[in-house]
Structure 1
Amino acid sequence: MTSIRIFMMALIFSLVLVPIRIAHAQTEDPVVHAVLFFSPSCPHCHLVLNETITSLIDQYGDQLQIIAIDVTQPNGEALFLNALKKFDLEYGGVPLLVIGNTYLLGSLEIPTEFPSLIEAYLAQGGVDWPDISGLQEGLAAAGQAENSNTAPPSQTITEPTIPESAAISPAIPSPMPFPNLSLSAKPLPDPNWRDLFAQDLGGNTLSVIVLIGMVGAVLWSGRIIRQANRASLKDRWAWVIPILSIAGICVSAYLAYVETMQVEAVCGPVGDCNTVQHSEYARLFGVLPIGVLGLGGYIAIITTWLMARYMKKPMEDIAAWALLALTISGTIFSIYLTFLEPFVIGATCTWCLTSSVLITLLMLASMSSFNLNLSRISSDISRHRRH
C-alpha cells in the first residue's frame, strides 16, 4: 500500500465526494494538504499529474495529501470558481493548485514552487485543507459515507494504489448517491488536437483565421518583391514602420510583465491568455519569456529603421537589410507560435495574436523597399567591377 492517495474526485450535485478512505498518517508527523484543479483534456495538467505529483508522492509519503478535482464536472467547476473567488481572480486556468492561502497556476509555476511550499508548511507543523467554499462540506460527507456499514451493491469501491494518474468514470445516474471511481496505473492519454481546439473554440477559431492571413501575407510578399516600383524607407509612408513597432513594444511589454511577474493577464471576451502564458511554450528553450523576446525584437526593428532612414551608405543599406531580416524571421516565428495555440496548447492569447498581426504588417512594409535596396547593391557591384 502506498504512502499517499491521490483521488480524482468528480463532485456530484450535492457536493458529496466518493466514499474512498482518505489515508491519514498514523504518526504525529505534520501533514500538508492541497487541492489540485485539473481538466482531463489539459496537456499541462497531465504533465503536472504524471511527473511533478508522482515524484512528490515518493518523496513525502503520508505527509502530503492531495485531492484532484475535475473542473469539467459541474460541481468541480463550482469549486473551481469558488477557489478563484477566494483569491479575487477574475480569470483562471488549469492546472491550479491551492495550498493554504497560496495558489500556483500552470505547468511552470507548480513544479518550481510547490516543493518549497511543502517544505515551508511542514516546518510550520503542516497545513489543513484550503478554505474553499464547499470543500469542507464535501470532505465531511465523504467521512460520513466512510463510516457507513453498507454500500449500494452496484457501487464499485476500490482500494487505491499508487497510480501515475487517475481516471474518473462517468457518475452513476440517480438514485445512486456516489460516482463510480476507478484508478488506473497507466498515464492519462494525451488529448488529440480536436479536443484541444474545442477547449477555446472562439479564440482558437480566431487563431486559425490569423494564421491563414499570416501565411497568405508571406506568399503575397513574393509579389511585392516582383513589383517594379522602388519604395524608399526615407519616404513619408515609411513612418508606418515605427508606428507599428511602438504598438508592438506596448503589447510585448505587457506580455513580458505577465510572464516575468507571474500575474494574471487581462484577456478580454475571446481567448484564454493565462493558459497560453502559463504553458511551456511561453518561454523559449524554457528560459527566455516570449514577451521579452518580442520586446527586444520590436526595439531592434525601430532601431534599424532609424538607421536606414537617417544614416548614409553603407550603413543605410545594411540597416535596411537587417530590418527586412528581422521582420521576416519574426513573422515566421509568429506563424509557429500561432499554430501552437489552437492545435497544441488548446487556448488562444489575443495579445499574442495582436503581436502576430503587427509583425506581419511590418514584414510587408519592409518588403516594399526590397527592390530599391537590391538595385543599390547591383549598382554598387557593377561600379566596383568597372573600377
Structure 2
Amino acid sequence: MTHSTNHMQKLQTVLALVLLLSLFPLSVQAQESVVYGVFFYSPSCPHCHDVIDNHWPGIQNEFGDQLQVLFVDVSTYQGSQIMGTAIQAMRIPSNGVPMLIIGTDVLVGSIDIPQRAPTIIRSGLNAGGIGYPPVPGIEQHFESADLDTSHAVPFSNTGILSDPANLLALIVLVGLVGSVGMVGAVVWRVTHPKKRLRRRIRVVEPPIWTLRIGIVIGIILAGSLVMGSFSDGLTLALSSVVLVIFAALAFDMFKKSSLSQITRWATPLVILAGLLVAGYLAYVETTLTEATCGAVGNCNTVQQSPYAQIAGVPIGVIGIIGYVAMLLVWVFDQYRKQATATWLLFGLALAGVAFSIYLTFLEPFVIGESCVWCLTSAVVMTMLLWLSLPIKQMDVTATR
C-alpha cells in the first residue's frame, strides 16, 4: 500500500511538472508580445499636446511595457529627418502632426489617434506583437532612445514663424484686413460725399496692384500645393488647375492698367478656383480623409480641429455654398445688369473676406498650424472683393 501511494505521488509530481512546462512557453510568449510604434509631434502643435497629455496616458497605462513608442520631435533637425525618411519609405501622403505609425498603420490627428490606436494595439498583441515600423534605421533609434513616455512633452509658443505656412498665413491675414480697410474707405468716400459739394465727384479707382499682389500670393500657394501633391493624383490635378487659373489671370492683370480693364471673365475664373479648393476641403472633412497639404503647412491638424466646423457644418461645405451663391449672382448680373445684383455680389465677397479673416487668424495663433488650401481660399476671396467692387454704381451714387 505504501509502495502504491509513493508511486501515485511520483506520477502526480511528473504530471504537475509537465503541465507547468506546457504553460511556461505561453507565459514567455505573452511577455514577449510587444507592439512598437513611432509618434511624431511638434512642441508648438496644440493637437499634439491634446493627444499626449489627455489621451496617451490612458493608452500607455492599459498596455504598459507591451507598448513601446518612440516619441520624435519634428521641430529638431534629427526629428525632421526621421519623419522625412518615414514619409518617403512608407509613401505617406500626409506630413502633418501628430502622427503615430504602428507597423504599416499610419494615424494622423487628435481624432484618428485616440480612436484607432487602442484597437490596433490590442489586435497586434493578440497576434503576437507588432515589430518596428518599416522605416530605415528606426531600430537604431529605438535602441538609443529613452522610451519613458510618462513625462509631458514641453510646450512651446515660439514656433509660429518657424513654419513657412504660418508666415504665409500672417501675410494673407494682413492682406485681408488691409483690403477690407481700403475697400471700405473707397465705398465710404464715394457714397457719403460732403453736402456742400454740388459738382460731380470723380471716383478714384483703386489701384490694380492690389490684385497683382493677390495673384502672386495665389500662385505661390498653388505652386506649394502642386509641389507637395505628386503622390496624390486627385490633389495634384486640383492644385494644378488652380495654378493654371492663377497664371492665366496674372497674364491678363499684368497687361492692364486699371481694374475696369480686366476681363469680365476674371470673376467666374476666380470663383472656379475657390470652388475647387472648397470642394477638396469639403471632401476631406466629410469623408475624414487625410489631406495632402503641399510642400508646407499642416492641413490635417487644421481640418481635425474643432474650428473646422460651424454648428456641425464643415467649413469646406460652407465655402462651396458661398462660391455657388456668388457664381449665380454674377450670372444674373451679366444678363440683367441690375445694381442690386452688383451690390449683392460685393456684399457676399465682403462677408467671405470677413469670414476668412476669422479663420486665417485662428490658424497660426490658436491652432498653431496653417492649411495652404485654406489660405488659398482666403486669397481667392480677397481677389473677389476687389473684382466685385461696384465702381460704376458708386460713380452714379457720387453724382447725386
- The two structures have a TM-score, normalised by structure 1, of 0.65
For residue 269 of structure 2, the aligned residue among 227, 243, 268 is 243
Distance 1:275 1:263, change over 3 A: closer
Match status 1:205 vs 2:191: no
For residue 65 of structure 1, the aligned residue among 55, 64, 68 is 68
Alignment correspondent of 1:302: 327
Distance 1:140 1:372 in 2: 71
Distance 1:229 1:297, change over 3 A: farther
Alignment correspondent of 2:380: 358
The root-mean-square deviation of aligned C-alpha atoms, in Å, is 3.8
Alignment correspondent of 2:15: none
Alignment correspondent of 1:196: 159
Alignment correspondent of 2:360: 338
For residue 76 of structure 1, the aligned residue among 74, 79, 85 is 79
AA paired with 2:107? L
Alpha carbons 2:161, 2:167 under 8 Å: kept: no
Alpha carbons 2:96, 2:298 under 8 Å: kept: no
Shift of 1:166: 3.1
Match status 1:327 vs 2:349: yes
AA paired with 2:281? L
Alpha carbons 2:53, 2:152 under 8 Å: kept: no
AA paired with 1:262? T
Q: Which moved more, 1:61-70 or 1:350-359?
A: 61-70
For residue 90 of structure 2, the aligned residue among 82, 87, 104 is 87
Alpha carbons 2:165, 2:370 under 8 Å: kept: yes
Distance 1:224 1:76, change over 3 A: closer
Match status 1:267 vs 2:294: yes
Alignment correspondent of 2:252: none
Distance 1:339 1:250, change over 3 A: same
Shift of 1:371: 4.8
Alpha carbons 1:47, 1:107 under 8 Å: kept: yes
Alignment correspondent of 2:278: 252
Shift of 1:49: 0.4
Alignment correspondent of 2:35: 32
Shift of 1:90: 6.7
Spell out the pairing of 1:140-219 with structure 2 (5 A cutoff). 140=143, 163=150, 165-167=151-153, 188-189=154-155, 191-192=156-157, 195-200=158-163, 202-219=164-181
AA paired with 2:322? G
For residue 50 of structure 1, the aligned residue among 49, 53, 56 is 53
Shift of 1:277: 4.4
Shift of 1:63: 4.4
Percent of aligned pairs with the same amino acid: 35
Distance 1:254 1:102 in 2: 24
Q: Name the SS of the counterpart of 2:68 in structure 1.
A: strand
AA paired with 1:249? L
Alpha carbons 1:199, 1:346 under 8 Å: kept: no
Distance 1:127 1:287, change over 3 A: farther
Cα deviation 1:338-384 (Å, max 9, x = unaligned): 22333334444333222212112222333416957997xxx9xxxxx
Alignment correspondent of 1:292: 317
Distance 1:373 1:45 in 2: 53
Shift of 1:302: 0.6
Distance 1:43 1:76, change over 3 A: same
Alpha carbons 2:291, 2:300 under 8 Å: kept: no
Shift of 1:140: 4.3
Q: Name the SS of the counterpart of 1:67 in structure 2.
A: strand
Q: Name the SS of the counterpart of 1:104 in structure 2.
A: strand
Distance 1:101 1:118 in 2: 12
Cα deviation 1:74-109 (Å, max 9, x = unaligned): 443333222112212476132211011111122232
Spell out the pairing of 1:126-137 with structure 2 (5 A cutoff). 126-137=129-140
Shift of 1:334: 0.7
Specify every segment of 5 or more residues in structure 2 that has no aligned partner in the other structure, as ranges: 1-26, 191-200, 206-260
Alpha carbons 1:328, 1:363 under 8 Å: kept: yes
Match status 1:224 vs 2:197: no
Cα deviation 1:16-72 (Å, max 9, x = unaligned): xxxxxxxxx988275433221222232221111011212323444454332212234
Larger radius of gyration: 2
Q: Name the SS of the counterpart of 1:47 in structure 2.
A: helix
- The two structures have a TM-score, normalised by structure 2, of 0.63
Alpha carbons 1:199, 1:347 under 8 Å: kept: no
Alpha carbons 1:276, 1:341 under 8 Å: kept: no
Distance 1:360 1:33, change over 3 A: same
Alpha carbons 1:253, 1:291 under 8 Å: kept: yes
Alignment correspondent of 1:9: none
Alignment correspondent of 2:100: 97
